[in-house]
Amino acid sequence: DEALHAEECAALFRLLGDPTRLRILGTLASTAELCVHEIAERVDASETKVSQALRLLRTARVVRNRRDGRHIHYRLDDDHVRALLDTAAAHLAHGGDAA
């Protein structure tokens, strides 16, 4: 149904509307996978904040995780997520007049 699709898309865009979550996704887009503490260092955020963001992103199937002993490694869920990030960056780089 079109209304449900619109609601789901809006929820995804709201999720992606947070600068910390976008920095996390950008970091994951540039590497195979990372642990929470590695992501936190790279995005200059607390491990708690990164963990909370990753939980939301995982629930929305934007990232996936893999457990290796005590460590949990995160990566982008699939190429669609990378395409969303790339498309947004290309749109911003395109510039142009708003009017």
**Of all helices (H) and strands (E), which one includes residue 35?**
strand 34-35
pLDDT at position 95 is 79
State the alpha helices, DSSP H only, in the chain.
2-16, 19-29, 36-43, 47-59, 79-94
Could you tell me what percent of the chain has a pLDDT over 90?
92
pTM here is 0.90
pLDDT at position 94 is 87
- How many angstroms separate the first and last alpha carbons of the chain? 33
- Spans of the chain, pLDDT less than 70: 96-99
Angle made by CA atoms 36, 38, 12, in degrees to the nearest 5: 50
What is the Cα 51 distance to its own chain's centre? 12
pLDDT at position 99 is 57
pLDDT at position 98 is 62
